[in-house]
Chains A and B, each alone.
Chain A
Amino acid sequence: MTIVNFLIGVGIALFGFVLQTSIGGINRKIVGRMQKRHGPRWYQEFIDIFKLLSKRAVSHGWIFDFGVIMALGGIIGTAMFMPLTNQILAFSNNGVNYDNFFIFVYLLAVGMLGMAMSASGSGNPWASIGVMRALTTMLAYEVPFLIVVLTIINLTNQSSLTGIMEYQQMAGNNWFIIAMPLGGIVGFISLMGMLGKKPFETYIAPAEIASGPMVEYGGKQLGMLFILHEISVFIEVSLFVHLFLGGATNIFEFLIKYFAVYTFANLISNVNGRFKIDQVVTFFYKWPLLMAVTQAVIVIYFGWVI
């Protein structure tokens, strides 16, 4: 563990930010074309973020400011552990890779809790409602998602992301989205919930609760929240690519898979309405949970893996 490892980690976080911001801008263009519009420039999201950082901002007390910085730090710390391909990985020692799946589960919570703390610190009731809804949504999608991921861990006998990647890339094995079709569907629906895309957009809901947790942010703090959001989207989509789509052996494969997954989620998002919060919970606890349990039984007790 040298200083070089940390530099590579920060580089991966920075790469994730640039990648997701560009792909987010391209996706705004794609959605525009879908709606017969011209759409913004592909680098519009960069302009938005730098504009926000250049504006003056009010503070609502030190918890409000500190929570944003803590959330951004937590998310950057999470992204540092993310492998891009089999080889590009920040922390590894004598062939042991420090990219266990549970690292991401733990460290993502730092970012989310920091944001929840900061939003509650603003004292705005919409922010409290938004945070409550975000945590409820998290409770809903985590259960089916974790059942599927634990099935994968049971099947491959390891929880390292590069290990799971290499298991899928071995001769005779399929990507898990093909080998476990039900689990793949559950994983994708949970990914939509994680990203806050349209059917599960309940905790943002601009027209209903005035963008939820972000209601009191403006200027610099909102800019930092945007950076945080881009990096967390990078982490979540990369997790899906590595767990279900066989990871990547080189960086171009990663870019293609990443772009495909994010664009597909975005296209589904743009033809859907928004669930109410109770509908989100009952939805996730009904079909995805049933499919996840069925998949786990099929894989663990019958051993039917293509």
Chain B
Amino acid sequence: MLSTKFTPKNKMTKAEIDRKWWEVGDYFRRNSLWLLMYCTGCCAVELPPSMTSAYDMERLGMGPMATPRQADILLVSGYLSLKTLRRLIYTYEQMSEPKYVVALGSCPINGGIYHDSHAVINQLDQYIPVDVYVAGCMPNPESVLNGFVDLMEGIKQKTMNGWKRYHDHFEWYKENQKNSLGEVIVHDEFHQ
């Protein structure tokens, strides 16, 4: 008969331990989100009020960062022409994981008012995975902050895994990118 007093605890498997540590990391990650602002579109004008005294993004632990390596969120504010899309993909691939993409305005969703332009892409989700959309033309600062709170909640629920999707469906994303941008072969000392 087994003694109840000395019954060994059932040990956690490695996967369970990893999951526990990942949840601990998620607490830190969702409370300290640093933004890299890709301000090409007009939605960028809504960011100063949401950062400064009026709505104060810093109370959520968020703040602007200077380079892609340091940032957690890639904030796409508005429409993307083909030229800026190429730079956006470079930037996204430079960020360190886990990384999230937040798209402001209606242009990254369906093209918005530029839907019939020859130089502007219509759906950002075809090229890089988007975690949170904030719809509106333009979204006001309350909606922008609400989008970030949604992102935090999503990180807690483990639904914001766009960066994993980018790994899993890398060929599909690359195919779309090549179809739109065309392949560029650069001849200089950095691209051998």
- List chain A positions with a Cβ less than 8 A from chain B: 28, 32, 35-41, 44, 47-48, 50-51, 54-58, 206-207, 210-211, 214-219, 222
Query: Is the CB of B46 closer than 8 A to any CB of chain A?
Result: no
| Distance, CA A210 to CA B67, complexed state (A) | 6
Extra A-B contacts (17), CB below 8 Å, given A32-B59, A40-B58, A40-B60: A35-B53, A37-B58, A38-B56, A47-B28, A47-B31, A51-B28, A54-B24, A54-B28, A55-B72, A55-B96, A56-B96, A56-B98, A206-B64, A206-B66, A214-B66, A215-B67, A215-B69
Contact B67 A48 (CB under 8 A): no
Contacts of B96 in A (CB 8 A): 55-58, 218-219
Q: Is the CB of A47 within 8 A of B61?
A: yes
Known: A35-B53, A36-B53, A40-B58. A51 touches B29 (CB 8 A): yes
Indicate whether A211 sits within 8 Å of B66 (C-beta atoms), given known contacts A47-B32, A48-B32: yes
CB <8 Å contact, A218 and B61? no
Contact indicator A32/B98 (Cβ below 8 Å)? no
- In this complex, the interface size class of chain B, counting residues with CB under 8 Å from chain A, is 20 to 34
Cα–Cα, bound, A76→B33 (Å) = 28
Chain B, Cβ-Cβ closest to A54: B25
Q: Once bound together, how far apart are the Cα atoms of A73 and B69, in whole Å? A: 23
**In the bound complex, do residue A217 and residue B69 qualify as a contact, i.e. CB atoms below 8 Å apart?**
yes
Which of B56, B58, B69, B95: most chain A CB closer than 10 A? B69
Shortest 6 CB-CB contacts between residues of A and residues of B: A218-B69, A54-B25, A51-B28, A218-B96, A211-B66, A206-B66
Chain A proximity mask over B66-82: 1 for CB below 8 Å, otherwise 0: 11111110000000000
Q: Is the CB of A51 within 8 A of B58?
A: no
Give the A-B contact count at a CB cut-off of 8 A.
Answer: 86
Minimal beta-carbon separation of A46 from chain B (angstroms) = 9
- Which residues from chain B contact A218 at a C-beta distance below 8 Å? 67-71, 95-96
Residue of B56, B64, B67, B71 contacting most chain A CB atoms (<10 Å): B67
Complex: chain B residue closest to A41, CB-CB: B61
By beta carbon, the residue of chain B nearest A44 is B61
B97 at the interface (CB under 8 A from A): yes
Residues in B neighbouring A37, C-beta threshold 8 A: 52-53, 56, 58-59
30 contacts between A and B (CB under 8 A): A32-B56, A35-B52, A35-B53, A37-B52, A37-B53, A37-B59, A38-B59, A40-B58, A40-B59, A47-B28, A47-B32, A47-B61, A48-B61, A51-B29, A51-B32, A54-B29, A55-B96, A55-B97, A55-B98, A206-B64, A210-B66, A211-B66, A211-B67, A211-B70, A214-B67, A216-B69, A218-B68, A218-B71, A218-B95, A222-B70
Note all chain B residues with C-beta closer than 8 A to A57: 96
B59–A39 contact, CB under 8 A? yes
CA distance A47 to B59 in the complex (A): 13
